Structure 1
Amino acid sequence: MQVSRLGAPDDFDPLLERIGSARVVMLGEASHGTYDYYRLREQLTRRLIAECGFSFVAVEGDWPDCDLVHRSVTGAPGGDDDPQRALERFERWPTWMWANAEVARFCRWLRAWNIDRPAGQRAGFHGLDVYSLWESMQAILDYLGEEDPASLEIAQEAYRCFEPYGTRIEEYGLASRFVSARCEAEVVRLLARTRERAAADGADAFSAWQNAAVVAGAEKYYRAMVGGGPQSWNVRDSHMADTLDRLLDRYGPQARAVVWAHNTHVGDARATDMAPGGMVNIGQLARERHGADDVVLVGFGSYQGSVVAANRWGAPAEVMTVPVARAGSIEERLHHMLPEQAMLVFDPGDRPHSGDRLGSGDRSDLGERPDWLGEEVDHRAIGVVYDPSFEAWGNYVPTRLGDRYDAFIWCDHTTALHPLPAATAPGELETYPSGV
């Protein structure tokens, strides 16, 4: 295991060495509302794109909203000249996850990086998530109306199937349990038709195909959600993993991807209590599909600070205090072991040993893996809904840190990020097991 202080972008060198030729790098976050995670993730991603040739960033966000950003950062026809304007058009709660000053700064850099490069060499920005059923349906109707009127009826049939449930689309899932309300056949026809078009057309057809895949995933998600348990989570993360693979295929055999998502999605589920509960996530699926040597998973964590979150689903965002970490947690251990900002890089060939205190220098190569990296210890996870008073009972995931991640970025004291002004529309019901 190697330990580095963090203070400048060059301090990520040990992690870049660990990444090597890996095709997928997933960068997590212990909350969706922490400035420090977004800033460090931005610094690292800039280096991955500029120095290592990574092809695109894929985030835990909706495809249609992120496609507006993608068109801006790649200079596509009709895209905004300023990516911040695209981010300010995000409407689905919680908008602050991506419509914030930190993401706007990165996207402005990305546009500047892209603009002097040939179109085929520009780095993209895409959404992986499954929630945007209505937005994706409208995007498909708009595309087919202009490019493939003969297929428009198929899309309209799918739209009409969902229309009785209006904005309360979770009612579709409930109805499908008791009456013949399923829209599956219409959605499958729509997906097949747009996939056909995408094989013979360009970026717009691919986007329509992806929107059809979102509709298909959402239909499964809402049916699974009403049943409770882990199935809706698995539908969502499998959809995100499938979207990632679809993007890698789209960008070509040499494509490399950076993923931004919560630790709960990025860190391998098999190293947590998610696996006994029957849950998978994109970190696990990527390792299984691409091989552990071709995937690098990076977690984030902190001891205390502040965060942007809401006190209930759909409520306004507010700045909340994050109390000191629970006794016995990974965060408490690292608070006593590490400087203010640091990075741990785990060697896959490390062997356990009994030492567990890190050296005090700027960089330390401990060679063998400390025993505590393989122990199951509580690891904090803050969702978009957060109650600091619940720290004694919840907000933690039992984790074997060295198995869940390939590296870990530590910020002892963190501060809240800076949301952009946005018109917020009600979001979907809280995701299982929490809003992450």
Structure 2
Amino acid sequence: MERASTQAEPQALARGCPTLPVDPFDEAFLADPYAHHESIRDAGPVVWLERIGAFGMARYAQVQAALRDHETYCSGRGVGLADFAKEEPWRPPSLLLEADPPLHDRTRGLMNRIVSLKALKALRPTWAAHAEALADELLEKRRFDAVADLGEAYPMRVFPDAIGVPAEGREQLLVYAAATFNAFGPRNAVFERGNAIAGDAVAWVAQACKRENLAPGGWGRAVYEAADTGECTSEEAERLVRSFLSAGVDTTVNGISHMILALATHPDQWERLRAEPGLAKRAFEESLRWDSTVQTFFRTTARDVTVEGTSIPEGSKVLLFLAAANRDPRRWEAPDRYDLSRATSGHVGFGFGIHQCLGQMVARFEGELVLEALIPRVREIRLAGEPERRLNNTLHAIASLPVEIEPA
């Protein structure tokens, strides 16, 4: 990868910020990020990542503080390596993830109203029935791929219908979401491989987000109805529907897959969950902390800021290691262990502050329903092969997770 440089580099070196040669987008790093997080955390509260020309934070306290301080660490200049103030975005920026107040407040308020707790509760009977039907199918198989047959299969049965996208071509959602998260990193080989197969998916999503292609009664059409009342423009409505499709798929797919991986590799915790089904919500939250789907996001400093003695100039890119923060021993006891006794409140698996993931309520809802279907039916979950990772510049994604289950 070509080495990046910014105006911040001489500042970092002159002010004594620890400099690390690690490349967080190297394929070896992406394949096993947890092998590198401790050294980044221990180097200091702020580090200089010379390979990408950006500052980095991997400790929980600094990551959470940056996520909460959207005025200093802005998102409107891009949450990837690219700085939208200096280069043209590769696509129209997200009106949620890559927007700052007041625009962000307006669009987020609109979307929160559509994807409300009331709206999710109305879907519970249908989504629960789908989860139970899928659990019964998996019991018949006994041995299956927990990614393709569960992590992907369940969200794809319920989420596209909620949005109201066309039935034909829905498989493109998986490709599109992966490509979107890939683009937050550099234009490296991982990006190029993903981008090479994403053309059809990008074209499908562009058509699926148009008003005339969205089913009446779905969340997508509801966004356009908000445009009709002046809450946003029609062009903004199309971009907001696109945000649904990028935020509500890969994070949920990998969140469910990581949850199954956690329970398969911590059988005592599955046994406890079966004894205490009320821990289903905590089980999903702890999996989000234990193996965060979204590993990193960038911010750009909107002003000069000093963090723990390190001066970070205005206009600097700062890489926030969300997953490293979620396993910071300064915040969590025995952080590498998946533990249902743990109070997970405050984890940054879905971000923190005003830019928390739009799809977090949906992901939590789906994860809980999957567990509610599996707990009474499954006595044991165990690995039936080695998990296979799918490299992505932003996500810690699983390509395949062979498991075997024993009926209750």
Could you state the TM-score of these two structures normalised by the residue count of structure 1?
0.27
Could you state the TM-score of these two structures normalised by the residue count of structure 2?
0.28
